[in-house]
Chains A and B, each alone.
Chain A
Amino acid sequence: MPGLSIAREAAVLVSFISLFWLYGQSRKHEKRIAPKELGRLLAWAFAVLAAVVLLSTISGITTRPAENGARESSAIVILVGTVSSISLVALASFVLLIVRELVLFKRRQGTKRSLLIYELLLASTSLSAILTLPFQQAFVGSILFTLTVLFAVVISFRQNWIVYLSRREKIYALVYSGLLFALFVLLNVVLAENTLGNKALTAFSRPLQSYVQLNAVLGAIYFGMAFVSTLFHLPTAEVYERKQSELNSLHNLSRLITQVFDFNDLVNMVTQMTMEVCGARSAWLEIIDTNEATGEMNIQVVSRKNINQEDVAAFSDAESNSMRHMLLESKAVMMVDDVWNDRRTRFLKDRGKLKGSLLSVPLVSHDKLMGVLYASKQIEYGFDQDDVEVLTTFADNVTIAIENSRLIVRSIERERLQQEMLVAQRMQQRLLPQTVPQHPSLDIAATSVSSLEVGGDYYDFVSLPNEQLGIVVGDVSGKGVSAAFYMAEVKGVFLSLSKICTTSKQLLDLANQSLMESLERKAFISLIYGVLDLKTGSLNVSRAGHCPLVFVSEDKQELIRPNGLGLGLTNRQVFSQTTEERIILLKKNDVCVFYTDGVTESQNGSQEEFGYSRLLEATRQARMDTANEIKNRILNSIHEFTGTSSYGDDMTLVVIKWLGA
């Protein structure tokens, strides 16, 4: 018989423990809000208590008159007892779970340990109820019971969760914990020795009776403490709530401002947010641009909120603004509690502007002061240390956001420049001849490569009257877009003058004259121009400060270097006096190479230049090949010399081979 009873107890316990465990697991993954849980627990407790009281009353009424129908009534009693027992056990388990969660909120060292001890004591006390000897049970049981209640008190001091509630939530928590305290006290009364509920529960399972009772005590103690605790926390709720909302808005704002890239939008948002973050009446933002070279500072108010231009100017443009001086000096936050009576801002009183309190926070990036954020309130002593901290954090984010927006502007600008460079590059490509002239007595090959998007090299051919061909190779000083423009100008000058000039010198004289007027002072153009008579092979060459012409014949190779000045360097008279022309009579298989300094100035690893002699030699070696092969031979020779396949500078080659008239 006792064996059977122990087996029954064990079965009931195991099933309840499994249920408890399952429910505990299902709660684990959910984030719960404390007051709501308390409300739910309250509803449960109320329902269970009411049910138990109601059921025991009903069963008490029904059993009394029908004394002869004892069997029937005992069945009802058993049913009622079982139902109320199960609901009481469920309630006790619910209490345990909720208290567990609340205790473990923001756990500290030892929190978990206290809880574990309590749970072990709870289990031992409950199980000790199985001990059959009444003496043992009374002795061991009462010691364990006392210890358990003691630890219930210990863990009831863990009320951290209350701190994090909002004011509204705290009020709910206060009401709920008060009611819960009352209900659990009531439950303890219901479970006192001789009530029907207690009898039913004891009959159902003694360990569970003990379990329910202990948890009812825990509930009463814990929620009693919670009630008192919440009551004490209520006055500080508002401060905490404000701080919390400041932190929240700070976080949101900081995230938001990093997403605004337009500078004006950004600074407007910053001043707006400054007001929100510290509850200021007005705010404005100064940006400080420091000229790297001169150290001169330009301070500009880029945004203001809820304050008129005059008031800001009264502060910002004041010559004897001692607050500004101190700010620039210290780069630290400054709080002025009473603007009109503070030494630093007293000057504002004379102007009758900006009463109240003022807070200024510097925006410091890479140790450089890039701006100052101001917040002002109408009342004196309007800002506190919290405002300083919040605004300082906010200012750090503002600094990053402003830096970002500047970087983006810069990169957009760079992108735009790149686009313009591409346009210039395409334009320049069209200025160069797309094909070389074809003539039976002449073989021509030409190439021009640019190291940058837009180079300064130019070459061209023009058919002249009397079966003559004009050949020009030039180099515009400078690079990039301006070089492309100058090149267009040179092409225009060259094309128009070549039709009216009979000799190369005449063309250069006139070209210098016309370019002198339009070129920038520091810009000039070097150019070599040859007029080739296709009937006789006579080449008339003039050189305007350009690289000498390479001339390779059967018996000699030489650099043709008539005197001459660069175009755009000096006036007509000096230019004309200096510039000479040379006439060479080409024989069959004679080769002339026009080129730019990129060819001769190509450098190898040890900074040696390719130079004239290598150019002459490469040309000589390939003299009997086609013009195109000569050109390739020169290019290969340069590559071999420099050891790379790329070019360090712009490079143009025009190879002319006379095949005989």
Chain B
Amino acid sequence: MNEFKIHHREGDGVNVMELRGYLDAHTAPDLESAFQKLLNEKKYNIIVNCKDLSYISSAGLGVFMAYIEDVRKQAGDIKLTNMTPKVYNVFDLLGFPILYEIYKDEHDAVSKFHEGKKSSTV
């Protein structure tokens, strides 16, 4: 059985979910409930760190699709970071880089969130 784990961190007004292992049709509901929990807590600045994500299936991609609209409606975003080339390829084939902000490093995503906040307050 391939395991899937989510580690949640919070800081600087940004919520980071570190994904680890296999994200497929069996484990997608775990990620779904994690997103749902953040949304229930009205946390909309979300970074998904894919450093240790070894596989993602179409069902896994679907989870991001399910929540992106709600998050953006609340002026938040889901940004993806630290993908391995293999995982990036899956996202890329489907055209996700056009729909999502994908960064090499988590810091870039964090500073992007902060930039956005500044520009909106100015």
Contact = CB atoms under 8 A, between A and B. Distances in A.
Interface of A: 456, 475, 477-479, 521-524, 526, 545-548, 563-566, 569-570, 574, 578, 597, 607, 609
A547 B94 CA distance: 9
A392 to B, nearest CB: 40
A526 B58 contact: yes
Given A521-B65, A565-B94, A566-B94, A478 B99 contact: no
Contacts of A563: 95
A545 B62 contact: no
B62 A565 contact: no
B95 A609 contact: no
Contact of B98 (A456, A526, A565): A565
B75 interface: no
A521 B69 contact: yes
B98 A524 contact: no
B86 interface: yes
B59 interface: yes
B122 interface: no
Contacts, number: 56
A521 B59 CA distance: 12
Contact of B63 (A475, A522, A565): A522
Nearest to A577: B98
Interface in B56-102: 58-59, 61-63, 65-66, 69, 86, 93-95, 98-99
A478 B25 contact: yes
A521 B94 CA distance: 15
B95 A565 contact: yes
A569 B69 contact: no
A564 B97 CA distance: 11
A545 B94 CA distance: 4
Nearest to B62: A522
Given A522-B63, A607-B54, 10 more contacts: A478-B58, A478-B59, A545-B95, A563-B95, A565-B95, A565-B99, A566-B94, A566-B95, A570-B99, A578-B98
Nearest to A452: B25
Contacts of B94: 524, 526, 545, 565-566, 569
A522 to B, nearest CB: 4
A563 B95 CA distance: 8
A470 to B, nearest CB: 22
5 contacts: A475-B58, A545-B95, A546-B93, A565-B98, A570-B98
A545 B86 contact: no
A477 B99 contact: no
**A interface, over-half SS:** loop
B92 to A, nearest CB: 9
A526 B62 contact: no
B71 to A, nearest CB: 12
A176 to B, nearest CB: 73
A526 B69 CA distance: 20
B66 A521 contact: yes
A479 B93 contact: no
A475 B65 CA distance: 16
A569 B93 contact: no
B59 A477 contact: yes
B2 to A, nearest CB: 9
Interface in B30-73: 54, 58-59, 61-63, 65-66, 69
Which 4 pairs of residues, A with B, have the shortest CB-CB distance? A565-B95, A522-B62, A522-B66, A477-B58
B58 A569 contact: no
B99 A569 contact: yes
Contact of A522 (B65, B95, B98, B99): B65
Contacts of A522: 62-63, 65-66
Contacts of A456: 58
Contacts of A574: 98-99
B69 A524 contact: no
B86 A569 contact: no
**In the complex, which of the residues B25, B54, B58, B62 has the most CB atoms of chain A within 10 Å of its own CB atom?**
B58
Contacts of B62: 477-478, 522-524
A475 B94 CA distance: 11
A522 B61 CA distance: 8
Contact of B65 (A479, A524, A597): A524
A547 B58 CA distance: 13
A609 B86 contact: yes
Nearest to A578: B98
A425 to B, nearest CB: 17
Contacts of B61: 477, 524
B105 to A, nearest CB: 25
A479 B59 CA distance: 9
A357 B112 CA distance: 71
Contacts of A524: 58, 61-62, 65, 94
Contacts of A526: 58, 93-94
Contacts of B69: 521
A456 B86 CA distance: 22
Nearest to A564: B95
Contacts of B95: 545, 563-566, 569, 578
Contacts of A566: 94-95
Contacts of A548: 93
